[in-house]
Structure 1
Amino acid sequence: MADPGLCSRLLTPQRLLDVVMRRSLAPPQVRCFENGTELHPDAYLTRQVTRRGQSLPVVNMDRVGQLLRSGCTLVLDALDAFDPTMELACRALQWWSREAVQVNTYLTTADAAGFSLHWDDHDVVIVQIAGEKSWEVRSASRPVPMYRDAEPNTAPSEDIVWSGTMQAGDVMHIPRGYWHQATRTDRGEEGYSLHVTFGFVKRTGVDWLTWVADRSREREPFRHDLDRWGGPGALAGQQERLVAEVQRLLADYPVADYLAAREQERPPPRQVATGSVFGPPTAVVCVAEFPPHVTHRGDAVEVRAGGKKLTFSAKAEPALAMLLSGHPVELASVSEECGVNAAVLADALIKEGVCAELTEALSSGCTGLVPTGS
């Protein structure tokens, strides 16, 4: 990283442990490993009983503290669901890559071992946040393996692509299918490592064909029963008609349309929505999972995002560009600069989940990561 200070801005061990402490968590979202073996949840979880008798699983911080002192790996998946900074980081990476992104975190202490040699069914970008960890990366032994595949992929490659130590600020990309493992067994009994793994779930030809197959329900020939009892001639005729219809279907629904639909139809994430109960919002930020798609329709501007289609007057386009930029923006500044009532535009975008009120948590998450728009 060009700016090492970004590491602590993204996450610190203390902030990770604070997140773990303040939420009801259970495996597989939170896991703990000792000597490379996953511990039974009873080793680090307990039940917290509320005043009304509700029992919630929570991490036993005293036990986790003991495990950290002796050497272990604490894993928390999908930190972006709990932490506004990581939420913003994942959204920025989604806008950049145009793929869904999730971030998992790994805190390893002393000389604890990590996972054994394995491969992931998605690309990962690993960011070493603090401390050091030794890595070994090997090439793929099966081209582009999948989670649900035609055959297993269990034999590691012997081809070592890279091995070395990642230090704070180092970033590494590991493509899907590449074998890898990380450990601190060579680091001694002092120190720790904190790294985050951004997972990029890219789409494949299988995903496109599945999407096209779902579109086939719109066409009558595919909804008819297969003619099992009409004889070989009838079945062959039906197959010929279906094959022709499949070719038309593939032509009508190209890959580009699938990728665009996937972005535009992805529902918006959960956000605080007060409905102006505590006063109208003064600042907003776009929270669409992917960059909103803006097109001109005569004297109108059409915005597609979060599974919604919104139409605005063409004169609103400059203001919409600011509101949909992904930067936090002050509505008064937008109104003054663009000569329109930005609050009215923002209200429509907030109601449809495309933008969100800039809460204190969202503002904190943006600080130092996303420049503030004027």
Structure 2
Amino acid sequence: MADQVSSDAVLRLFADGSTVVLQGLHRLWPPLIEFADSLAADLGHPTQVNAYITPPSSRGFSPHYDVHDVFVLQVAGEKHWRIHEPVLPDPLRTQPWNDRAAAVAAAAEGQPVIDAVLRPGDALYLPRGYLHSAVALGEISAHLTIGVHPVTRWAATESVLDLVRVLAADDPELRRSLPMGLDLADPSAVTDDVTAVVAALKGWLDRVDPTQVADRLRTRTWAQVRPEPVAPLAQATAAATLSADTVLRVRARLRTALREPAGDRVTLVAGRRSLELPVQTRPALAALLAAGELKVADLPGLDDADQLTLARRLVTDSIAVVPDAVVPDPTAEHDGWRDHVPGAGS
């Protein structure tokens, strides 16, 4: 298969001095999944975890910078790190180091601000933009990098511009066609129109609601956090057989927010989605989100039927899960089936 790692190629490359990179461990290994999620919840910014394993006396990468903050946690061996001042403070994702490779290489020739050896148990913090390179010393070196992807003012700027783009489409003046016979090769031919557009957009910027911008920023940020996977068949079966004693648990790593009621509806924001529910479900939703886990019968403010209706909606929309849900064994009630199927067991 084309996407399979060739173990003999890994061995050959590692023996030649290449670094092995294990990416996305925050999605693969339970202890790091929990750690990265807890850290992201505390910081308010998405996180990731990679591992780097470098052979003795080898350098992982040439001097470069990252567009996110990094915590280096040395796990095994020793690594010599050299850190230099940024050539571009606080770079964005659209401003990678290779776009400034010459400046990075020149800056890396200067005096480092940190020149240190990390040993097991040591940690190093690298704000985004700081140049860094590292060389493994006399044995194999292994370290984790905890990447923190900052939510920036530029992200807020993009959210504002996205919102203006939507709002301004309602402006009939901005929807007008430019004149027939227009010569776009002549900049002066569109000067008046561009001036009018800029003036109109300034007006639309003044109408932007910060709450709407915050919602867009939240959607973009929460979309980077993957909640725990669900077992579709098991959860579908559980949703169809809910009872008052069924335990519901809010899906792990799912970011949620319960909005204030609007009329007879209340909005539950969950990850990148929003659910509108009857306003009378708000006490039950608030209780479940606060507790993290409740029996259906303990959802407050609802009668028995409404408790089951809400619980079923939350499970089928993957907001909550039934922790002990299993897929039923279709043969469990037919122990003697082989006696009644011609040829079975022959």
Q: Could you tell me the TM-score, scaled by structure 1's length? A: 0.63
Task: Tell me the residue number matched to 1:117.
Answer: 63
CA offsets, 1:279-310, max 9 Å, x none? 45745333565443532446754212333332
Which amino acid is 2:204 matched to? L
CA distance in 1, matches of 2:122, 2:312: 41
Unmatched runs of 5 consecutive residues or more in structure 1 = 1-54, 361-374
Which amino acid is 2:177 matched to? D
Task: Tell me the residue number matched to 2:334.
Answer: none
Residue 197 of structure 2 aligns to a residue in which SS? helix
Distance 1:244 1:69, change over 3 A: closer
Distance 1:279 1:74, change over 3 A: same
* CA deviation after TM superposition for structure 1 residue 150, in Å: 11
Residue 194 of structure 1 aligns to a residue in which SS? strand
Task: Tell me the residue number matched to 1:142.
Answer: 88
Distance 1:64 1:233, change over 3 A: closer
**Does the 8 A contact of 1:284 with 1:346 survive in 2?**
no
**Does the 8 A contact of 2:256 with 2:271 survive in 1?**
no
**Does the 8 A contact of 1:129 with 1:196 survive in 2?**
no
When structure 1 is superposed on structure 2, of 226-235 and 87-96 the one drifting more is 226-235
Equivalence map 1:1-374=2 (5 Å): 55-64=1-10, 72-149=18-95, 152-154=99-101, 155-156=103-104, 157=107, 158=110, 160-184=112-136, 187-188=137-138, 190-205=139-154, 207-208=158-159, 210-212=161-163, 214-215=165-166, 216-227=168-179, 229=181, 235=190, 237-253=192-208, 257-264=212-219, 267=223, 269=226, 271-272=229-230, 273-274=232-233, 276-280=235-239, 282-287=247-252, 290-297=255-262, 301-312=266-277, 316-317=281-282, 319-321=284-286, 323-324=288-289, 329-332=292-295, 335-336=297-298, 338=300, 344-356=309-321, 358=323
* CA deviation after TM superposition for structure 1 residue 246, in Å: 0.5
**Does the 8 A contact of 2:53 with 2:140 survive in 1?**
no
Residue 116 of structure 2 aligns to a residue in which SS? strand
CA offsets, 1:123-175, max 9 Å, x none? 23333344443322222122333443599433133353323233444443322
Which amino acid is 2:201 matched to? V
Higher strand share: 1
Residue 67 of structure 2 aligns to a residue in which SS? coil
* CA deviation after TM superposition for structure 1 residue 63, in Å: 4.8
CA distance in 1, matches of 2:90, 2:42: 22
Distance 1:182 1:197, change over 3 A: farther
**Does the 8 A contact of 2:284 with 2:300 survive in 1?**
yes
CA distance in 2, matches of 1:84, 1:249: 47
CA offsets, 1:94-144, max 9 Å, x none? 433333433322122433321111011222333334444332222212233
* CA deviation after TM superposition for structure 1 residue 251, in Å: 2.0
Task: Tell me the residue number matched to 2:333.
Answer: none
CA distance in 2, matches of 1:150, 1:192: 26
Distance 1:286 1:277, change over 3 A: closer
CA distance in 1, matches of 2:48, 2:33: 9
Q: Could you tell me the TM-score, scaled by structure 2's length? A: 0.67
Which amino acid is 1:192 matched to? S
Q: Which of structures 1 and 2 has the bigger CA Rg?
A: 2
The percent identity for this pair of structures is: 24
CA offsets, 1:50-76, max 9 Å, x none? xxxxx3431233553566577642112
Residue 112 of structure 1 aligns to a residue in which SS? coil
* CA deviation after TM superposition for structure 1 residue 199, in Å: 3.8
CA distance in 2, matches of 1:347, 1:305: 16
CA distance in 2, matches of 1:346, 1:130: 47
**Does the 8 A contact of 1:228 with 1:235 survive in 2?**
no
CA distance in 2, matches of 1:220, 1:84: 54
* Alignment length (residue pairs): 300
**Does the 8 A contact of 2:248 with 2:323 survive in 1?**
yes
CA offsets, 1:301-344, max 9 Å, x none? 4212333332445665455345435x8x4433x75485767765
When structure 1 is superposed on structure 2, of 155-164 and 113-122 the one drifting more is 155-164
When structure 1 is superposed on structure 2, of 158-167 and 265-274 the one drifting more is 265-274
CA offsets, 1:206-264, max 9 Å, x none? 53454245324444333333447579999555344322321122123356633421323
Distance 1:193 1:62, change over 3 A: same
Distance 1:145 1:235, change over 3 A: same
CA distance in 2, matches of 1:343, 1:107: 51
CA distance in 2, matches of 1:82, 1:323: 28
Distance 1:110 1:99, change over 3 A: same
